[in-house]
Structure 1
Amino acid sequence: MSSSLAPRGSIVPGRLFEDDAGRPVQLHGAGIRRIGDRYYAWGEDKSHGGTFGGVACYSSPDLATWTSHGHALAVTPDVPDLAPGRVVERPKVLPAPDGTYVMFLHIDSADYADARLGWAVADRPEGPYTYLRSERPLGNISRDIGVFLDDDGTGYLLSEDREHGLHVYRLSVDLLTVEEVVSTTLAPPSDHPAGPHGYESPAMIKVDGLYYLFGSDLTGWSTNDNKYATAPSPAGPWSAWNDVAPPGTATFDSQVSDVVTVPGTEQTAYVYVGDRWDRHDLFRSPPVVLPLQVAGGRADLVWRDSWTIDTTTGVIS
């Protein structure tokens, strides 16, 4: 499928969005969150290929028309974790109780040996963010990450640790500390002939009191049949893993990055945001953004060649 620019204002899975200046939107490994009446998105700027080119920030009223706010977090030579040649991936942002915004990052070396979690903070969603530090949460390897904010304000970090599994961590009230592992899940035996591991590129939503956890198998840049599990609590117990898209489609040739909840006056919609990686041209790797039907413990990704969503009503057309 073509990875050229989608018509402005439309969502065309497998085509790049353009921003208000007509440039390809850099929402690789993206995190998206509704703040006020707009949706803010943070993604990896792949202008430097596989190494850090900055965290790009955009906002949109409709998840299709994107305004660029530049870099929320820039390459910073005198900050070792943000220096040229480093790996900074999967930017996700949560609002803190004090009105600030906390950005979570996968921080790594070019050979992926560091496997750390990074924090940055800002007074505005678009930044600029001040980088704080990185660590291995509770001593565990941390690569692909996701975040989730529960109805009661509790924040959770989702982090892939291939030595032990996919961890769900509870965060401190200010979101700046990892306090405990509340659950750890593994991929089913059929998915890990080389030994136990968890899923990567995790995302979580809550629907009608049930938690849905999404993830991708460890197949590098190649896509696979992404899975989901459900539980009555982030602490589990988690169900068996199920395919989120028709088996054999490799999740419509994509890897989950985030799942966005769109609360509307007529219905609440759910939007899957995935990456279709082109390892030879990461800058132009297109997103795959699709409606996700979620109800009664099932999550089903629905293909649409082109579509829009009314973020006021929640109606998809």
Structure 2
Amino acid sequence: MAPYQYAERGKISPGKLFLDQDGNVAQLHGAGIQQFDGVYFAWGEDKRNGGTFGGVACYSSPDLASWTFRGQSLPVMEDVPELAADRVVERPKVLRNSEGNYVMFLHVDSRDYSDAKVGWAIAGQPEGPYEFIRAERPLGNVSRDIGVFADDDGTGFLLSEDREHGLQIYRLSDDYLSVDRLVSTTLAPESDHPLGAHGYESPAMVKVAGLYYLFGSDLTGWSTNDNKYATAQTPAGPWSEWQDFAPSGSATYDSQVSTIVSFAGTHGTGHVYVGDRWIRDDLFHSAPVWLPIHISGGKASLEWADEWVVDSGGAITA
């Protein structure tokens, strides 16, 4: 058995696995995290089946460190073709719409990644169960890794990896249940559009002091790389040049961005980088790499901490 390392409950230890209240490995791979009514909810890929669909697991936490398993928000369903055990279902992300419903977004695919669709599901509570609605290519474009973002006014955005064109940002309908329009497309610096067109995968976006920050990972398969970020005054861009936010050559501390979590505390707003350290042959035990990330004045920077917590006042203590 591999020498798996586990974080102490109530603490975040990058590179160590979280355990839930029953001592089971928390399946927080490719996770989406939101805070609703003072409680953090996380939805992750359940990797019990390795690279194919094992369900979307839901957890809750008061502090991003002590996780309680809330059940399968979206289990394997052999009678739903998109959710069968031989399918690929990744990157679960959730937004709460103006009607108070919880909308889950997914990368839904075939085992050879030829379908390249976005999936939608809906529920009346964060943990679900979610009702699967459909899977489609947004505006006809391929879509693999995804992220989501809700602006201050409730406007929702879908971030989508479309290597045929670039990293796409779509505006969602008011209820988040469909794509309204494409607002911007960005390419990696080395791209030679259209022949070598590609953007970044595993996208995430946050807004800080009126400025939008877009994060992504280069297309290097299972190997990690120096993830990048860009900034813009609006989601429509123009976006700045992409640059590192972790030390160059660190491969983002051997991880890939999944999302950026913002939280408000008595000491102001803080941000957490939520990343994955994938083990291709043992995805179930792939470790999370979650770290405080400083975002201010158009700059983002990530520094390593062996262990850290978010205290009751919302301050990050390493």
The TM-score normalised by the length of structure 1 is 0.97
Q: Structure 1 regions of 5+ residues with no counterpart?
A: none
RMSD: 1.5
- 1:27 aligns to 2:28 (yes or no): yes
Q: Which residue does 2:278 correspond to in 1?
A: 277
Query: In the alignment, which residue of structure 2 is the partner of 1:232?
Result: 233
Partners of 1:190 and 1:301 lie apart in 2 by 26
Cα deviation, 1:233-282, whole Å, max 9, x if unaligned, reads: 00011000010100000000000000000111112110000000000100
- In 1, Cα distance between equivalents of 2:306 and 2:3: 12
Is this contact kept in 2: 1:263–1:314, CA < 8 A? no
What residue number does 1:122 align with?
Answer: 123
2:80 is aligned with 1:92: no
Q: How many residue pairs get matched?
A: 316
Equivalent residue of 1:81, what SS?
helix
Q: Please give the alpha-carbon distance, in whole angstroms, between the structure 2 residues aligned to 1:31 and 1:142.
A: 17
* CA distance in 1 between partners of 2:237 and 2:46 (Å): 35
Tell me the secondary structure at the aligned position of residue 309 of structure 2: coil
Paired with 2:70 and 2:314, the residues of 1 have a C-alpha distance of: 26
What is the rounded CA distance, in whole Å, between the counterparts of 1:19 and 1:100 in structure 2?
Answer: 26
Query: 4+ residue runs of structure 1 moved beyond 2 angstroms?
Result: 311-317
Deviation of the 1:219 alpha carbon: 0.6
Shift of 1:195: 1.7
Alpha-carbon displacement from aligned partner over 1:52-81 (angstroms, at most 9, x marks no partner): 000000000010000001100000000000
| Match of residue 166 from structure 1 | 167
Q: Indicate the percent of aligned positions where both proteins have the same amino acid.
A: 66
Instruction: Give the match for residue 256 of structure 1.
Output: 257
Q: Deviation digits for residues 111-131 of structure 1, max 9, x if unmatched?
A: 100000000000000000000
Question: How far 1:311 sits from its partner (Å)?
Answer: 5.2
Letter in 1 for 2:224: T
Q: Can you list the C-alpha shifts for 1:171-225, whole angstroms capped at 9, x where unaligned?
A: 0000011011100000001799x82210000000000000000000001111000
3-state secondary structure, aligned to 2:317: coil
Q: Does 1:61 align with 2:54?
A: no
Tell which deviates more after alignment, 124-133 or 303-312: 303-312
Determine if contact 2:292/2:316 at 8 Å carries over to the other structure.
no
Output the amino acid matched with 1:224: N
What residue in structure 2 maps to residue 294 of structure 1?
295
Q: Kindly indicate whether the alpha-carbon contact (under 8 Å) linking 1:3 and 1:14 is maintained by their aligned counterparts in 2.
A: no
Q: How does 1:302-313 map to 2 (within 5 A)?
A: 302-310=303-311, 312-313=313-314
CA distance in 1, matches of 2:154, 2:264: 17
| CA offset digits 1:105-152 (Å, max 9, x no partner) | 000000100000000000000000000000000000000000000001
Secondary structure at 2:260's aligned position in 1?
Answer: strand
1:212 maps to 2:213: yes
User: What amino acid is aligned across from residue 149 of structure 1 in structure 2?
Assistant: A
Q: Which amino acid aligns with 2:161?
A: E
